[in-house]
Amino acid sequence: MNQKGIYPPLTGIRLSEGNVFHARMARDIRYLKKLDCDRMLYNFRKAFGVPTDAEPVHGWDEPDGLLRGHSTGHFISALAIAYSATGDSELLEKSRYMVHQLRELQMMSKGRARDFVTACTPDDCPQDKWNTDPSCWGEGFLSAYSPDQFALLEQFTPYARIWAPYYTLHKLAAGFIETYERTGNEEALDCAKGIGGWIHDRLSILTPEHLSRMWKMYIAGEYGGMNESMARLAALTGDRRYLDTAKLFDNPNIFPGLSEGIDTFRNLHANQHIPQIMGAMLEYEVSDDESYYRIAKSFFHHVTHHHMYAIGGVGQGECFRNPDALAENVKEGTNCETCATYNLLKLARELYAFDPENTAYMDYYERGMINHILASQNPDGNEHETNAVTYMLPIGPGAEKDYSNDYWAFTCCHGTGMENHVKYPDAQYFITEDTLYINQYIPTSLTYDGLSVHCDVEFPDGKGEIRITSEKPVTLKLRIPLWCGKNPFTCDGMKTVGRYAVLGCEGGREYIISVEFPFEPRLEATPDCIASGEKLTALLYGPYVMVTFDDAKEFLHIPVTEIEKCPDEFALTAGGRRFIPGYAAHGKPYHTYFIAEK
């Protein structure tokens, strides 16, 4: 494995109080504590014929929904992440309860996975024909519905007669692995191994051609990051069978071309394919097959250079479009699915671990985290909108954010939204044998392996200090953001190397680094034009994409010859209009892109 170092676990990182990150994490944690475990188990118990008095949840997890159960996997992941980020025993207790109850159901599944046969056909597959006897579902099977959807996928049944069965199963597997890694719950590992064994037995008898056709299917063949989870399972257990299982999800429709540097994903479903690339990275880590690394690097390059909007999001109507066709695809509320950015951040984080001198990965991470993920939660939600989050993060003219709620509007992004706001510092610190990298400037403290760090940088102002003490000598490297233009750090002995400010720190001594980021307004234009022949422009201030309130449904024409900083608030003015960071825009229609007049 060529990974250069590690990200210290969230157990050693704490968000400082009194800032927007801490406040939004607190909302998420309140929601995780509020969310009723038995309601999240409702569909699973019904599927296995176990009585329950709980109420179901709604949206994509409603009792007859074809994707039901996916949010339960995210809930399990979020509980584990939130526990590691806080040490709150209530979250750990809920985590253990969820895992144990699901393991009890999983133990009811008997037989061989490959032997299950559905009574349905692609043209005749109503749910009342689905199997109700777990004794023939196959050992290790666990889902909120029977294996019929999996069998129907093997018959190439299209969406929306079925809906992404391996995607839903991946959310469960990922949740169990996350729980084991972050809390040490052995029962969670057993659950993941059971799922892995069922998948291997079911899919290993299919030909590569059969699998290729399945994974090419729009949404029906979506499998999330199942190759990632199976590769992680191989690394955790040492059982190479799980790596073989991961490779069953290699997508020959896009992987070979990406390995050669070709954009093979244009016009494809964005979030159907981003997790597959994250899976390729994990397969590289376990197998050392360089082609997987090339696939991931190539994909990330194409996305961030040719498909990315200013906020770090991608796509229109859930799909990638043609490279550099950004302006023509800006629509009022159908751009930038939040799940896609959730997965791109995971990919950037993983790629960086193999190339920590390449700050481009962390530049993207900062952009997507601040301008999309942080902006996706409603800080003003009512008692039914505890962790209300966006599905799409709108960037079209006069668009307004639309949010989920506690129980009635579950979507895929509601699920990832449970995780997003409890792991803000997940990529802030990176440690190699002799170097500590600080790549994000969120107000946090780190205590890990003889290191003590306090990042007291005010948000969003970008002023403050970083204090570090190490028991042994360590080289400190602070990322100089691409938008900075000069070194924003002041400390005796610091020098600039590439895109890092570097300081050699002796053991047992405290170092204090003064920070003042030089924010300057700048404009980012789309590479293409709208139908009228004009490019669209976004206004940025430091790392922040700035927006202006207006309910007009046409693109605004805004003079940009004089952009000024507001003296009493964190805002800009341009053409007589006030611009604020997108993460602070809630409850009103706004404009992210406009036509710049010079």
What are the pLDDT digits (tens) for 11-45? 999 999 999 999 999 999 999 999 999 999 999 99
For residue 161, the model assigns a pLDDT of 97
**At 119, which amino acid appears?**
A
CB 582 within 8 Å of CB 547: yes
Q: In this structure, is residue 205 part of a structural domain? A: no
Same domain, 543 and 556: yes
> pLDDT tens, 144-177?
999 999 999 999 999 999 999 999 999 999 999 9
CB 19 within 8 Å of CB 445: no
* Token pair recorded at residue 538: 């976004």
Same domain, 525 and 593: yes
Looking at the 3D structure of the chain, how many domains does it have? Answer: 2
Q: In this structure, is residue 593 part of a structural domain? A: yes
For residue 1, the model assigns a pLDDT of 52
Same domain, 437 and 452: yes
Does the pTM surpass 0.95? The reply is: yes
Q: Which helix (H) or strand (E) holds 210?
A: helix 208-216
Same domain, 479 and 497: yes
Same domain, 505 and 536: no
For residue 417, the model assigns a pLDDT of 98
CB 424 within 8 Å of CB 21: yes
- What would the DSSP string read from start to end of 70-96? HHHHHHHHHHHHHHHHH--HHHHHHHH
Helix axes 89-106, 186-203, angle to 10 degrees: 40
Beta strands, E only, 328-482: 429-431, 435-438, 444-448, 451-457, 463-470, 474-479
Same domain, 438 and 483: yes
Q: In this structure, is residue 494 part of a structural domain? A: yes
Q: In this structure, is residue 88 part of a structural domain? A: no
For residue 288, the model assigns a pLDDT of 86
Q: In this structure, is residue 292 part of a structural domain? A: no
| Residue found under tokens 């159901």 | 105
| pLDDT tens track, the chain, 598 positions | 567 899 999 999 999 999 999 999 999 999 999 999 999 999 999 999 999 999 999 999 999 999 999 999 999 999 999 999 999 999 999 999 999 999 999 999 999 999 999 999 999 999 999 999 999 999 999 999 999 999 999 999 999 999 999 999 999 999 999 999 999 999 999 999 999 999 999 999 999 999 999 999 999 999 999 999 999 999 999 999 999 999 999 999 999 999 999 999 999 999 999 999 999 999 999 998 999 999 999 999 999 999 999 999 999 999 999 999 999 999 989 999 999 999 999 999 999 999 999 999 999 999 999 999 999 999 999 999 999 999 999 999 999 999 999 999 999 999 999 999 999 999 999 999 999 999 999 999 999 999 999 999 999 999 999 999 999 999 999 999 999 978 899 999 999 999 999 999 999 999 999 999 999 999 999 999 999 999 999 999 999 999 999 999 999 999 999 999 999 999 999 999 999 999 999 999 999 999 999 8
Cβ neighbors of 417 (< 8 A, separation 6 or more) are 28, 338, 376, 377, 387, 389, 390, 404
Q: Which residues are registered as beta bridge partners of 581?
A: 546
- What would the DSSP string read from start to end of 357-385? T-THHHHHHHHHIIIIIGGGB-TT--TT-
The residue among 481, 516, 551 that closes a domain is 516
Domain that holds residue 538: 521-597
For residue 226, the model assigns a pLDDT of 98
Same domain, 567 and 587: yes
Q: In this structure, is residue 158 part of a structural domain? A: no
The residue among 500, 516, 532 that closes a domain is 516
- Given phi > 0 = left and psi -120 to 50 = alpha, else beta, which region is 184? left
Tally: H helices and E strands in the chain: 16, 20
Q: In this structure, is residue 24 part of a structural domain? A: no
| CB atoms closer than 10 angstroms to residue 336 | 31
Residue 444: which CATH number? 2.60.40
Q: In this structure, is residue 336 part of a structural domain? A: no
Same domain, 527 and 479: no
Same domain, 509 and 542: no
* Token pair recorded at residue 500: 């890092």
Secondary structure of 280-307 as H, E, C letters: HHHHHHHHCCHHHHHHHHHHHHHHHHHC
| CB atoms closer than 10 angstroms to residue 478 | 26
d(CA 583, CA 545): 9
